[in-house]
Structure 1
Amino acid sequence: MRDATCQLTVLMAVHNGMPFLRTAIESILKQTYRRFHFLIVDDASTDETRDIVRSYDDPRIELLCLERNVGQTAALNIGLRHASTPWIARMDADDYSAPTRFEEQMRLLDESGSLTCVGTFAWIFRDDPHMVEGTIERPLDSAAIRRGLLHGAPMIHGSLVIRRAALLEVGAYNERYRYSADRDLYNRLLTRYPAANVPQQLLGIRWHESQGSFSNVATDENIEIFSRMLVGSEYTPKEKTVLRRSLAYTYFARAKGWAAQRQYGELLQDLARAFRASPTRTLRGLAAYPIPDRMRVRLRQRFSRKPS
């Protein structure tokens, strides 16, 4: 039974989460901030995910089972609309929340009175959440977070606590994006509402081999998102200059992937797109990147003119 006075829903979407799910769930149940609803949306898992969730005798947990696999982005939207609390906390099924994560975030929300979104810093781990392999920091205040939008993701999606009404008002998650829905959301949410990051590593992000296999799709999505940001009215001309550099960088990153696969036609097309977005940024990238000998003549022919 739900606590009618609860202010926070922890939203987790999971598909076949069995290898890491218990660690993630138990990190939430051990939070020092105790008054929350824990909504777990099972996205038609075929492993023991549902049995694992049902093994916990905790009234805060609600399991919402989908009979058809819809993907994480759509599953999050289903959970968002099912929830009823003012605040939504995100949590991924393979990550780990430090015990004081929600306590620190809710304290900052209470103290500010105006923030709509609060994230945290994070650390990277492989198997043991207590073995830190690296740390991630993000800008602290709204002004710095807006500047961070011009380069990518100024907040860590799995660490967020967001006002539910604001999330719905901007259209929730765009189901067009499978891997970069967070960046698309930031463009709509963080240009309208104040946000902040708690300067503490309160989320552990698990690194595992399967994460690398989606990089091409994520890069494609990021290119589309940067391109849409450039045609919108939310950014000043000066900010759009920075956005063009970021778009060129992303095209260049994809071009390096084509080079590794010896797909030289696609490589040239992406370098041309990068050059159109930001000639200076592209030429700097080319100067720093080792280019196969067979490509040098073709590149000189295409990019010999000076940037305007």
Structure 2
Amino acid sequence: MLFQNRRLASLAAVTLVASLGLTACGSDDEGGSSSGNGGGGDATTVTFIPKNLGNPYFDTSNAGGEKAVEEFGGEYEEVGPAEGSPDGQVTYINTATQQGRDALVISANDPDALCDAIGEARDADVKVVTFDADTNPDCRDLFINQADSAGIAKVQVEMIAEQIGDQGEIAFLSAAANATNQNEWIKLMEEEISANHPDIEVVDTVYGDDDDQTSFDRTAALLQSHPNLKGIISPTTVGIAAAARYLSTSDAKGKVALTGLGTPNQMREYVEDGTVTEFALWNPEDLGYLAAYAAKALVDGDIEGEGDSFTAGDLGDFTVDEGNTVLLGEPFRFNADNIGDFDF
């Protein structure tokens, strides 16, 4: 996204290695004490539940959440399923509710499957913030949107169009088939292509389930099934890195363009070796950071809904928009000219 100056400054200063070794910073036992669901003079307890653990993207966003919680003197924990399934998330939502946590910050694996568990949490006065991937809006208190969906879709289409001369066959390599954000972006990308890029044809959409090996295999299968393929858009950080890894050692390197959403540290080697020309993302650390401050504002009663404003630490002031959403910003393009300026 086109980060504001303050975000560009913070990005350049961040040193976050997106590794699979980052583990949860709390346990169910540690989360057993609550602050009474009201903030007040007690530490605000915040539980982050990403789509899955061991995902470099969520390692980064959760680190931002932990930083924010430490800044406002709260108690942070990260729990979640090993694989990106809604059933796994429901278990952790229920546990956090039973423990009396003040707020949950969730990246939803399904728009509807979590709603019953979230409803029980809200009935128990637990504030629920979604980020990255939303639930049905009726289920949660607030959604922290990493970027406007239309903007995310448009920038990815623009990049692939530039890279393939605005014509030819392309395919999508997505995450899970029921991932809310992925499906919304793909729908909008198809609409953008249909309206403004008549010579680009979408020939397939495949799902790597946000698993490295599955995404790698799906990339190989795409090239076998579509020998005239000119480009791949992968709007998932796991998928684009796996696809780049496959392309980098295949005969398709330099012939099949790849773009989508990725982190600089994941994609650096593939930009430097010419496998990938350009990709985009927002700052996931800022996303988690903002989500945590929004959760704190809800718990404290500083915000309730549309039109209310709050301050999110170093990121500054934000306003709750229509649908009880808060927008982080616009996508930013990473390429050989600027990727060296970022480290996350």
Q: TM-score range by the shorter chain?
A: under 0.3
Looking at both structures, which has the greater relative contact order when contacts are Cα pairs under 8 Å and sequence separation is at least 6?
2
Query: What TM-score do the two structures reach when normalised by structure 2?
Result: 0.24
Which structure has the larger Rg?
1
User: Could you tell me the TM-score, scaled by structure 1's length?
Assistant: 0.26
Please state which structure has a larger fraction of its residues in helix: 1
